[in-house]
Amino acid sequence: MLNTVYPFLSALAQNNHREWFESHRGDYDSARKQVAQFATEMHAGLVSFDASLSVCNPAKSVFRIYRDTRFSNDKTPYKNNMGFWFSAAPKSKVGAGYYVHLQPGASFIAAGVYMPPAAELQAIRQEIYFNGDSLEAILRQKSFKKIFDGLEDHRLKTSPKGYPKEHPHIELLRQKSLVVSKTYDDKSLGAAGMVTKIASDLGAAAPLVSFINQAIQLGDEL
């Protein structure tokens, strides 16, 4: 399914300029079409684990290949990866979701929320403060631990302002992101049945995504 994606991205990484891209636009269109099909099939599998994703349009989930270079010293115009993101959160709101990243030698999946804005992070911390046992139980589930090693370490060096250092879930409260991830090699991603396998792997993080999004919704109501 992804047989044109990795060759195109490898070539783009070596020729990241507009002239080359425009002369290979047909290759890009073919690669993007394959990623969109991959996303569509992935969405169908993920909905069985997280019904809230039924509101997502997989055709619109694929990220643009164009980089925003306005505030970057790196002025190469194109990303050297392709990927897509599913989240039930409205576009006006940051929420947790599921991400698939396709890049030669560096492909991975991720779930959760990365560096949310202050209001959303505060809502998540409030839920952890009062209901951290539930999050701990999610992170201990066998189905979760079989796929993910735990939350990525995006922690503050000290306890966040307003929270006691002796809180039983202080390590979770220190998190600035709640993200889990898993890497895949290029060959395995193109193997038969891999869409089902990745959807199942991401589905193991559905309770974490639900915990985060419910926390944000509760914060909106305060």
**For the residues 152-178, what does the mean pLDDT come to?**
95
pLDDT in tens, 23-55: 999 999 999 999 999 999 999 999 999 999 999
Sorted by sequence, the CB contacts under 8 Å of residue 113 that are 6+ apart come out as 94, 95, 96, 97, 120, 124, 177, 178, 179, 212
pLDDT digits over 69-111, tens only? 998 899 999 999 999 999 998 776 789 999 999 999 999 999 9
The pLDDT of residue 89 is 87
Which is it for the CA torsion 181, 183, 189, 191, positive or negative? negative
